[in-house]
Amino acid sequence: MHVPDGFLDLSTSVATAGVSAAAVATALRRSRTELDVVGPAVPGLVSAFVFAVQMVNFPVGAGTSGHLMGGALAAALVGPATAVVCLTVVLVVQALLFADGGLTALGTNVLLIAVVTVLVGHVVTRGALRVLPRRPGSVAVAAALGGLVSVPAAALVFVGLYAVGGAVPVDPGTLATAMLGWHVLIGVGEALITGAVVSAVVASRPDLVRSLRGTRRDLVVVDAEGRRTTVPATVDEPAAPARAGLRRPLAVALVACAVVAGGVSLLASGHPDGLEHVAGVVGFGDAARDSAVAASPLADYAVAGLGSPVAVTVAGLVGVAVTALLAGGAARAVGRRRVGA
C-alpha cells in the first residue's frame, strides 16, 4: 500500500513529511545507544530482511494479493525504535531506487508504514504479552495480534489523511469501509506470517527476539535448607525505560495527527474543495446505498461522517488512538509486569 505521487495534495504531503521526520528523528535518538553498541550492520541487515520479505506476496482472495508490511514483525524482533529506523530505510530505498511510492509521498509512506504500523503493532504486542501467560510461545501470538491490528490501523490513518488531503472526492465512509475490509484480510495474512516468523526465530535464536525479554521465567533456586533464591531471568533494562520509551513516540504520532488534521482542515475551509463538495453533494441517495453495510459499527462512522468530513478524519484518528488506548488500558488493568517477583 505504497502511496504514489499525487494521491494527497502538497500541503498534506508536506505535513506528513514533517511529522515523519520528527518521528524518525526520535526513533534514531532512541536507538542511538543501541546503534553505537551494535553498529549499523545489524539494523542494515534487518532492513534488507524486511525488504526481502516485503517482496513475498500472499493471496488475499479474489485474485489479489497482499504483501507483508513487517512493522509489527520488526517491532517484535528488534524493538520499536530500531524497527522505525529499519522500515524507514526500506521505504527510502524503495522510493529512491525502485520508484515504489512517490518521492513527494515518502513522508506519507513513512508515517503510514514505518511509524503507524510499528507503533500500533508494538503497543498491541506489549499489551497482549501482559495478558498472555509468561512463556516464550506467547510472543508469537502477541506479535501476530500486533500484525493483525497494525495493518487496518495504517489503512484507517490513510483514510484520515485522504479525507483531509485527498485529490478526488470519495465518500470517506465508503473509502473507510473498503480500505478496512481489504486491510483486515491483509492483516490476517500479516498476522499469520508475523506469528510464524516470530515463532520460527524463537525456536532457533530466542535471544534475538526483543519482545521475548521479560517473558522468560525467573530461576528459583531452593537450597538444602529450603531457602528460596530467585534469579531474575532478565537483568537488562527493567520495565521503566521501556515504558517511557513508548510515551514519546506515541505523543509524536498523536501530535502529528493533530497537526495534519488541524492544519489541513484550515486549508480546506479556505476554498471549497473535494471535501465540502462531498458534504454538499452526497445527500440522502448515498445513505440508501450504504445501507448494505449499515449493520456494522463502521457504517455509523460513515453516516456520521457524511455531515462533517472533519468528523470522519477524527473518527479515523480516534480509531487508532482507541486501539492504542484499549491495549494500554487492558495492560494496566492486568497489572504491571512482575519483575523479579
Binding to other proteins, residues 303-322 (CB under 8 A): none
Stretch of 6-14, 120-128, 153-161, 323-331 lying at the interface with other proteins (CB under 8 A): 6-14
Per CB under 8 A, 197 contacts other proteins: yes
Q: How many other C-beta atoms lie within 10 A of the C-beta of residue 248?
A: 15
Confirm if 147 and 103 have CB atoms less than 8 A apart. no
From residue 209 to residue 248, the character string flagging contacts with other proteins as x (rule: CB under 8 A) and all else as - is ----------------------------------------
CB nearer to other proteins: give 6 or 262.
Answer: 6
- Burial class for 168, CB neighbours closer than 10 Å (0-12, 13-18, 19+): exposed
Q: Which of residues 58-77 bind other proteins (CB under 8 A)?
A: 58-59, 68, 77
Per CB under 8 A, 42 contacts other proteins: yes
Residue 338 Cβ vs other proteins, minimum distance, rounded to whole Å: 29
Among 22, 53, 242, 287, binds other proteins (CB under 8 A): 53
Computed from CA positions of residues 24, 326, 313, 161, in that sequence, does the dihedral angle turn out positive or negative?
Answer: positive
Can you tell me the distance from the alpha carbon of 147 to that of 110, in angstroms, rounded to the nearest whole number? 17
Per CB under 8 A, 201 contacts other proteins: yes
Can you tell me the distance from the alpha carbon of 13 to that of 9, in angstroms, rounded to the nearest whole number? 6
Stretch of 53-61, 108-116, 130-138, 220-228 lying at the interface with other proteins (CB under 8 A): 53-61
Residue 202 Cβ vs other proteins, minimum distance, rounded to whole Å: 9
CA distances from 317 to 225, 297, 323 (A): 59, 16, 10
Amino acid at 230: T
Contacts of residue 280, defined as CB under 8 A and 6 or more positions apart, other chains included, come to none
Residue 69 Cβ vs other proteins, minimum distance, rounded to whole Å: 13
From residue 138 to residue 177, the character string flagging contacts with other proteins as x (rule: CB under 8 A) and all else as - is -----------------------------xxxxx--xx--
Stretch of 40-48, 246-254, 295-303, 316-324 lying at the interface with other proteins (CB under 8 A): 40-48
Among 7, 158, 182, 301, binds other proteins (CB under 8 A): 7
Can you tell me the distance from the alpha carbon of 292 to that of 93, in angstroms, rounded to the nearest whole number? 42
Stretch of 83-91, 234-242, 247-255, 291-299 lying at the interface with other proteins (CB under 8 A): 83-91
Per CB under 8 A, 88 contacts other proteins: yes
User: Could you say which DSSP state residue 168 is in?
Assistant: S
Among 135, 217, 277, 336, binds other proteins (CB under 8 A): 277
Among 133, 205, 224, 228, binds other proteins (CB under 8 A): 205
Residue 218 Cβ vs other proteins, minimum distance, rounded to whole Å: 26
User: Could you say which DSSP state residue 218 is in?
Assistant: P
Per CB under 8 A, 52 contacts other proteins: yes
- Burial class for 224, CB neighbours closer than 10 Å (0-12, 13-18, 19+): exposed
Per CB under 8 A, 298 contacts other proteins: no
| Exposure string over 303-329, b if 16+ CB within 10 A, otherwise e | eebbeebbbbbbbbbbbbbebbeebbe
Q: Is 220 helix (H, G, I), strand (E, B) or coil?
A: strand
Residue 339 Cβ vs other proteins, minimum distance, rounded to whole Å: 27
Stretch of 27-35, 223-231, 255-263, 296-304 lying at the interface with other proteins (CB under 8 A): 27-35
Can you tell me the distance from the alpha carbon of 112 to that of 118, in angstroms, rounded to the nearest whole number? 9
